[in-house]
Amino acid sequence: MEKKALITGITGQDGSYLAEFLLSKGYEVHGIIRRASTFNTTRIEHIYVDPHKSDARLFLHYGDLSDSEQISNVIYNIRPDEVYHLGAQSHVRVSFDVPEYTGNITALGTTRILEAIRRSGNNIKFYQASSSEMFGASPPPQNESTPFRPRSPYAAAKIYSYWMAVNYREGYDIFACNGILFNHESPRRGETFVTRKITRAIASIISKKQDNLYLGNLDARRDWGYSPEYVMFMWKMLQNKMPDDFVIGTGETHSVREFVDESFSYAGLDQDEFIKIDPRYYRPTEVEALVADPDKAIKKLKWKPKVKFEELVKIMVDADMRAAGLEPIGEGDEIIKKKFPDRWWCAD
């Protein structure tokens, strides 16, 4: 019988790739979506089939991570084999503006899901979208034993969720795994995260729709990988014999400044003409440097990232140029063709 998966955050970057991946594996996929005044399903439109049709395998249910009753109903009625909990107020800078809301959704939302799973009495595997932000001020490289030293309300909320997943594993024997993922990006990355903000701005500058790009701290360093690769490992974690926690990252670190350099020079633009600093984008407390030590995942999950920093930059610049109606430079498209000949996700 085909397996059923439920994804919270299915309309987000990772949720959309994960939905495609699970459909390609033969799963029936269910997703929780929020009611919004405008469409928030653009990332999954291309895989949506009228649910009345016999070949429909993707089903969407209204719900919100603040609403425990609806979450319980959805989990009870669907009886999924696996729950991938990706929904969150996921923006670190915004979490300083809305700390209480971030706690309610990003932290307590996890408890609502775990309680619904426990009370359903069904055997349901659980994936928690943990984050490298939890390491915060702990010096790199960071692995599964590195202490958490959060530097934002977002990170504190994710640490709460991490420990709730561990507690439900130990206390109630629920197959719960934490994927501690370092930053991962793609052409579907939210427009206000720094990588996408930069690659979209490049396309707008070339199209003469934008004169300047305002950024904050250019010295922060991140370990940036490619989202479609990372979602495969969410699934892999739940196929293990025993539940466990894994760090996923490339093991390379680059500054925001290097991302700017690489992307502007790939597009043939002189960054000095366009980059301006706006202190509004600074954070009250910053995470200075993140680099994954993904040794455990390399050994146990056979993890090896295919897309590294320069390739990621090219993939994202090409995609944003195409989205803006420009001719892409093309190296990014070539990288995808070469590295993912059997790619399961659709054109962006």
**Residues annotated catalytic, as ranges:** 131, 133, 154
Question: Which C-beta is closer to ligand NAP: that of 168 or that of 205?
Answer: 168
Residue bearing tokens 């692995």: 143
| Binding status of residue 64 toward ligand NAP by CB under 6 A | yes
CB count in 10 Å sphere of residue 48: 14
Instruction: Give the span between the Cα atoms of 37 and 210, in whole angstroms.
Output: 27
Question: Which C-beta is closer to ligand F7E: that of 197 or that of 322?
Answer: 197
By CB under 6 A, name the one of 3, 25, 149, 283 that touches ligand F7E. 283
Bridging pattern class, strands 254-255 and 221-222: antiparallel
Provide, rounded to whole angstroms, the least separation between the CB of residue 43 and ligand F7E. Answer: 15
CA dihedral sign, ordered 327, 329, 335, 337: positive
Q: Closest residue (Cβ) to ligand NAP?
A: 12
Provide, rounded to whole angstroms, the least separation between the CB of residue 133 and ligand NAP. Answer: 7
Q: Which does 220 bind (CB under 5 to 8 A by kind): ligand NAP, ligand F7E, none?
A: ligand F7E
Quick note: the x/- pattern for ligand NAP over 2-31, rule CB under 6 A, is ------xx-xxxxx----------------
Q: How far is CA 236 from the centre of its chain?
A: 16
Question: Which C-beta is closer to ligand NAP: that of 117 or that of 205?
Answer: 117
| Binding status of residue 89 toward ligand NAP by CB under 6 A | yes
Provide, rounded to whole angstroms, the least separation between the CB of residue 211 and ligand NAP. Answer: 28
Q: Which of residues 226-255 bind ligand F7E (CB under 6 A)?
A: none
To which H or E segment does residue 130 belong? strand 125-131
Provide, rounded to whole angstroms, the least separation between the CB of residue 180 and ligand F7E. Answer: 9
Provide, rounded to whole angstroms, the least separation between the CB of residue 234 and ligand NAP. Answer: 9
Instruction: Name the nearest CA neighbour of 180 among 249, 90, 122.
Output: 249
Helix pair 309-323, 194-206: axis angle to 10 deg:
50
For 3, 123, 180, 249, the CA distances from 79, given in Å and listed in that order, are 10, 9, 26, 32
Q: Which of residues 251-280 bind ligand NAP (CB under 6 A)?
A: none
The residue type found at 6 is L
HSE (side-chain half, CA atoms, 13 Å) at 288: 5
By CB under 6 A, name the one of 16, 183, 186, 250 that touches ligand F7E. 183
**Contact predicate 128/165, CB 8 Å:** yes
| Binding status of residue 222 toward ligand F7E by CB under 6 A | yes
Provide, rounded to whole angstroms, the least separation between the CB of residue 217 and ligand F7E. Answer: 4
Question: Which C-beta is closer to ligand F7E: that of 217 or that of 271?
Answer: 217
CB count in 10 Å sphere of residue 194: 22
* Length of the chain in terms of residues written: 348
By CB under 6 A, name the one of 80, 87, 141, 150 that touches ligand NAP. 87
Residue bearing tokens 């707008």: 204
Provide, rounded to whole angstroms, the least separation between the CB of residue 271 and ligand F7E. Answer: 14
| Binding status of residue 18 toward ligand F7E by CB under 6 A | no
Instruction: Give the span between the Cα atoms of 275 and 156, in whole angstroms.
Output: 32
**Contact predicate 227/116, CB 8 Å:** no
Instruction: Give the span between the Cα atoms of 93 and 98, in whole angstroms.
Output: 9
Question: Which stretch in 42-50, 131-139, 299-307, 334-342 sits in contact with ligand F7E by CB under 6 A?
Answer: 131-139
Instruction: Give the span between the Cα atoms of 259 and 213, in whole angstroms.
Output: 13
Kindly list the residues in this chain that would bind ligand F7E in the complex (CB under 6 A): 90, 92-93, 131-133, 182-183, 192-194, 197, 215-217, 220, 222, 256, 281, 283, 286
Kindly list the residues in this chain that would bind ligand NAP in the complex (CB under 6 A): 8-9, 11-15, 32, 34, 36, 40, 64-66, 86-90, 105, 129, 131, 181, 183-184, 190
